[in-house]
């Protein structure tokens, strides 16, 4: 059945969201129609407000509603360390650990020759400016442990080398709470390579 125009359009737009198939899009659309109008309006306005007021931090490129984000403007953070991540989601994940007190740099992507994403398409230029400005002693590469993240880390290691900054990469190994026999071969191989004295 063809839905009336405005419903069809709403389903279509919801269907563009990641992880929302045609069936969920329909369920969400019907939910928004069935709830008080106020609730639907609040969601629409939250989307518009976020797009209008959220921008990239002038220093680390993470999302913020001020010129400089909260982490970059917090004097208690250790400005000698910069942790490089692919996306703002990764900053949130690292902050949740409560174990990192340095600064971040958000690349907004990863270098991916296969998808045609080169160094100029991510914020590496801005990162190099930060490093050249001095004061940074360690660059922690926390790009994803996949092909693109690895390529990006290796590229960064090369371009940063002349600057004399220590470059580290997050450890690879077995995830906490897992079963050894459920881990894939590559993860086990990496865990063996990276084994440490107890």
The residues that touch a copy of itself, with contacts defined as CB under 8 A, are 1-7, 9-10, 12-14, 16-19, 24, 26-34, 37, 39-54, 63-66, 69-70, 87-89, 91-92, 95-96, 108
Residues with Cβ within 8 Å of residue 76, at least 6 apart in sequence: 101
Residue 3 or residue 155: which is nearer to a copy of itself going by CB? Answer: 3
Q: Which is nearer to a copy of itself, 15 or 187 (CB)?
A: 15
87-96 CB contacts, 8 Å cutoff, 24+ apart = 88/62, 88/63, 90/142, 91/62, 94/142, 95/71
- Rounded to whole angstroms, the Cα distance separating 71 from 102 reads 9
CB 157 within 8 A of CB 149: no
Nearer of residues 43 and 163 to a copy of itself, judged by Cβ: 43
Query: Between 37 and 114, whose beta carbon lies closer to a copy of itself?
Result: 37
Q: How far is the CB of 52 from a copy of itself (least distance, A)?
A: 8
Query: What is the token pair recorded at 23?
Result: 């069936």
Residue 116 CB, nearest distance to a copy of itself (Å)? 18
Least Å distance between CB 53 and a copy of itself?
Answer: 5
To a copy of itself, the closest distance from the beta carbon of 197 in angstroms equals: 34
Which residue number, 90 or 139, has a Cβ lying nearer to a copy of itself?
Answer: 90
Look at residues 93, 185, 151, 114 and name the one whose alpha carbon lies nearest to residue 193.
Answer: 185
Give whichever of 97 and 125 is closer to a copy of itself, judged by the CB atom.
97
**DSSP per-residue string spanning 80-134:** EEEEEESSHHHHHHHHHHT---EEEEE-SS--BGGGTB-GGGTTHHHHHHHHHTS
Tell the smallest beta-carbon distance from residue 174 to a copy of itself (Å): 23
CB of 94 to a copy of itself, least distance (A): 9
Q: Is 32 exposed, middle or buried (0-12, 13-18, 19+ CB in 10 A)?
A: middle
Tokens encoding 118: 């080169």
């Amino acid at each position: 059945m063809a839905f009336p125009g405005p419903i069809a359009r709403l389903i279509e737009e919801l269907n563009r969201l990641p992880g929302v198939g045609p069936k969920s899009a329909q369920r969400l659309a019907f939910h928004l129609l069935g709830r008080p109008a106020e609730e639907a309006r609040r969601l629409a306005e939250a989307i518009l407000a976020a797009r209008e007021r959220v921008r990239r931090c002038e220093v680390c490129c993470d999302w913020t509603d001020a010129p400089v984000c909260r982490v970059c403007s917090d004097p208690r953070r250790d400005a000698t360390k910069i942790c490089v991540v692919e996306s703002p989601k990764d900053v949130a994940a690292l902050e949740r650990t409560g174990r990192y007190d340095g600064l971040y740099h958000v690349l907004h992507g990863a270098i991916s020759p296969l998808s045609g994403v080169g160094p100029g398409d991510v914020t590496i230029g801005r990162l190099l400016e930060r490093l050249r400005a001095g004061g940074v002693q360690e660059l922690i590469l926390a790009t994803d442990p996949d092909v693109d993240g690895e390529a990006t880390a290796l590229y960064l290691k090369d371009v940063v080398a002349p600057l004399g900054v220590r470059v580290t990469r997050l450890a690879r190994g077995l995830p906490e709470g897992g079963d050894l026999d459920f881990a894939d071969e590559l993860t086990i191989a990496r865990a063996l390579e990276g084994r440490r004295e107890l």
